[in-house]
Structure 1
Amino acid sequence: MTSLDTDQLGQGRRQGRTLADQAYERILAMIVEKKVAIGDKLPTEKELCAELEVSRPVLRRAMDRLREDGVIVSRQGSGSFVNRRPDEAALRFAPAGSIADIQRVFEFRAAIESEAAFLAAQRRTEAELKDLKTALAALDRCIETGALGVAEDDTFHRLICVAGDNQFLTAARNSMKANILTGINLTRNLSLTKTAERLQLVQAEHYAIVDAIERREPEAARQAMRAHIENARRRMFGGTP
């Protein structure tokens, strides 16, 4: 690695991997704006580095994340190809420059909230279970009325942390509340642009979590929560495959 690469990579780390984030979002925008069609090969590493003004290590980090999101696929000896075009609405609803951060928040939530669901299935009280069912009913009403439901969605997930009876998990989630709300706002806005079945699918995932908590099945609750959050992350990129 050259001294320039080392310096630039270090700068990216110090700034929360800002350079990789910017490269990630610019390549994503190229795909969303149809500058590269599904099935088409992306420009070479050298060409992308020149266009984005980043080093190869920074670009490779961005490309790794695009592969994780299923947006691109790499073929040995052939390069990287566009596999999926995210909905343009994903960029429209997300605050400028926030897509990479939102994706990281989903990773954070998968870790924190899956464990909270596990503990909630072990420790929840009858009163806490009743509160969760009330929160589910509020989300049902959002679907019926066409309301966005960001606050209701956040309340549901917060109550699971409360039922887990671990103040550190609750504090960790609270510390990221603004970022979490941004992600919930984006995913629920995207769902409203889809069919009613999309919202029902999301709500079915909520019911699966509560069902496992009610039955006191910790591992099932953990897996249901992880599946829900990972599905939400994938739904951000649920455009044309």
Structure 2
Amino acid sequence: MDGPVATTPTRGDTRFSDIIYEKIVSMIADGRFPVNERLPSEQNLAALLGASRPVVREALERLRNDDLIVSRKGSGSYVRQRPDRSILQQVPVGSLADVQRFFEFRAGLEASAAELAARNWQAVDRTRISDAILALEKCLERGDLGADEDFALHEAIAIASGNQFHATVRTLFRPHFSIGQSVTRSLSLKRPPHHVREVQGEHTAIVEAIFSRNEQAAHDAMKNHILMARARMFQGVGS
């Protein structure tokens, strides 16, 4: 049966504040706005970027939510961390803000799927999940990206939920899932090995909670994993 097909966002679908958001991220990543330095005022940013102050204000609020900048009362906004430039090369122009929003969406969705999986998994689900996390472990040992294997693990958990809509959502929005997972995993490969191992530890915690039928632990472990992935998008790769 034919149905809606999700695609990656294009510039035509993008709000102007998202374009401004991405321009500021680029300037931070390039070092034009250094870490711990104060950003220009809203008025000066508006003039620099060719946008209105309300648009700049909205972009800055997103940057605060993403922990890229921090506000200091009576002093202005300061750069908190410098993301790796490569994230801007891996997402469609103007869609970086949507990638972050999709992580927010995933946090609730996949936590619910993991909780249901802990309650409902069957023997076939256990085999599918076990095979998926083993395949991901082998990717780590080889130093491979593992984005497809990462997707397969999360998909196996969605199927184990016993609610077909969790699997359907993953099909409809596969490009969105894939972009986020590819970016975060590629960044992990540029970081010291212990970072990659920490991510796999998060996966292991999810799987162990599911197999022990601990619904709350599975929910919490998955939500933590997705929110940590969102945070890792903008962390530097040097440490």
- The Cα of 1:17 is off from its aligned counterpart by 5.3
Q: In structure 1, which of residues 152, 159, 162 is the aligned counterpart of residue 149 of structure 2? A: 152
TM value normalised by structure 2: 0.90
Alignment partners' CA distance in 2, 1:218 and 1:149: 27
Between 214-223 and 164-173, the greater mean CA deviation after superposition: 164-173
Partner of 1:97 in structure 2? Answer: 94
Cα distance in 1 for residues equivalent to 2:178 and 2:14: 22
Q: Alpha carbon RMSD of aligned pairs, Å? A: 1.6
Residue 230 (structure 1) aligned with residue 227 (structure 2): yes
In 1, Cα distance between equivalents of 2:31 and 2:198? 29
What per-residue deviation string (whole Å, max 9, x for no partner) do you get for residues 147-177 of structure 1? 1111111000011110001112221222110
1:127 Cα deviation from its structure 2 partner: 1.8
2:39 corresponds to 1:33 = no
Match of 1:143 in 2: 140
Match of residue 9 from structure 1: none
Give the equivalent residue in structure 2 for 1:4. Answer: none
Query: Which of 127, 134, 138 is 1:130 aligned to?
Result: 127
- State yes or no: 1:219 paired with 2:216: yes
Aligned to 2:70: 73
Residue 6 of structure 2 is matched in structure 1 by none
Equivalents in 1 of 2:157, 2:50: separation in Å? 44
Q: 1:220 Cα shift?
A: 0.7
Among 117, 120, 142, the residue aligned to 1:120: 117
| Closer/same/farther in 2, CA of residues 95 and 17 from structure 1, 3 Å limit | closer
Whole-Å separation in 1 of the counterparts to 2:105 and 2:172: 11
Gaps of 5+ in 2: 1-11
Q: Which runs of 5+ in 1 are unaligned?
A: 1-14
Q: CA deviation at 1:212?
A: 0.5
Match of 1:12 in 2: none
1:120-150 deviation digits (Å, cap 9, x = unpaired): 0111112201210110100010011111111
Assess if the C-alpha contact under 8 Å between 1:112 and 1:173 holds in 2: no
- How far apart in 2 are the matches of 1:169 and 1:57? 37
Paired with 2:81 and 2:196, the residues of 1 have a C-alpha distance of 22
User: Who is 2:49 aligned against?
Assistant: 52
What's the secondary structure of 2:70's corresponding residue?
strand
Aligned match of 1:190 = 187
Aligned twin of 1:8: none
| Segments ≥4 residues shifted beyond 6 Å | none
Equivalent residues of 2:135, 2:149 under 8 A apart: yes
**Match of 1:43, SS?**
coil
Q: Is the 8 A contact 1:44 1:79 kept in 2?
A: yes
Structure 1 residue matching 2:234: 3-state secondary structure: coil
Partner of 2:5: none
Instruction: Indicate if the aligned counterparts of 1:93 and 1:189 stay in contact, CA closer than 8 A.
Output: no
* Deviation per residue, 1:170-196 (Å, 9 max, x gap): 212221101111111111111111122
**In the aligned structure 2, how far is the partner of 1:67 from the partner of 1:195?**
27
Counterpart of 2:57 in structure 1: which amino acid? R
Partners of 1:20 and 1:166 in 2: how far apart? 36
State the 1:215 CA deviation: 0.8
Match of 2:21 in 1: 24
Q: Secondary structure at the match of 1:102?
A: helix
Cα distance between partner residues in 1 of 2:156 and 2:221: 16
Give distance in 2, aligned partners of 1:190 and 1:109.
19
**C-alpha distance in 1 between matches for 2:17 and 2:129:** 39
